[in-house]
């Protein structure tokens, strides 16, 4: 990654860091679930939507938290 790319990424990240993060608490987890719900409403099943990739990333973060913190139902 070039210095210019890092600077662009840094600028963009500062705008989303309060919204997109690895959840470490139940509160953060619930906030991400709320974000995912909103993204699902916006994106639906449109894989070409500009936010489709973000929806996928948020889903992965939620899944990771659940795998580590929610007991499996057997």
Cβ(36)–Cβ(58) below 8 Å: yes
Tokens describing residue 9: 């990424």
Q: How confident is the model at residue 11 (pLDDT cuts 50, 70, 90)?
A: very high
Domain residues for 51? Answer: 20-74
Q: Note whether residue 2 is domain-resident.
A: no
Residue 73 lies in a domain: yes
% the chain with pLDDT above 90? 92
Confidence class of residue 20 from pLDDT cuts 50, 70 and 90?
Answer: very high
pTM: 0.87
Is 7 part of any domain? no
In which band, very low, low, confident or very high, does the pLDDT at 70 lie, cut at 50, 70 and 90?
confident
Query: Is 54 contained in some domain?
Result: yes
- Determine the average pLDDT of the residues in 42-46: 96
66: in domain: yes
The tally of domains found in the chain comes to 1
Q: Is the pLDDT of residue 47 over 70?
A: yes
Q: Are 51 and 36 in contact (CB under 8 A)?
A: no
Question: Residue 72 has what DSSP assignment?
Answer: P
Cβ atoms of 62 and 22 within 8 Å: the answer is: no
């Amino acid at each position: 990654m070039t210095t210019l790319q890092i600077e662009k990424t840094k600028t963009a990240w500062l705008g989303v860091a309060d919204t997109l993060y690895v959840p470490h608490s139940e509160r953060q987890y619930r906030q991400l679930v709320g974000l995912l719900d909103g993204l699902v409403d916006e994106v639906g099943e449109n894989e070409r939507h500009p936010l489709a990739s973000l929806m996928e990333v948020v889903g992965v973060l939620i899944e990771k938290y659940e795998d580590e913190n929610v007991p499996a139902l057997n």
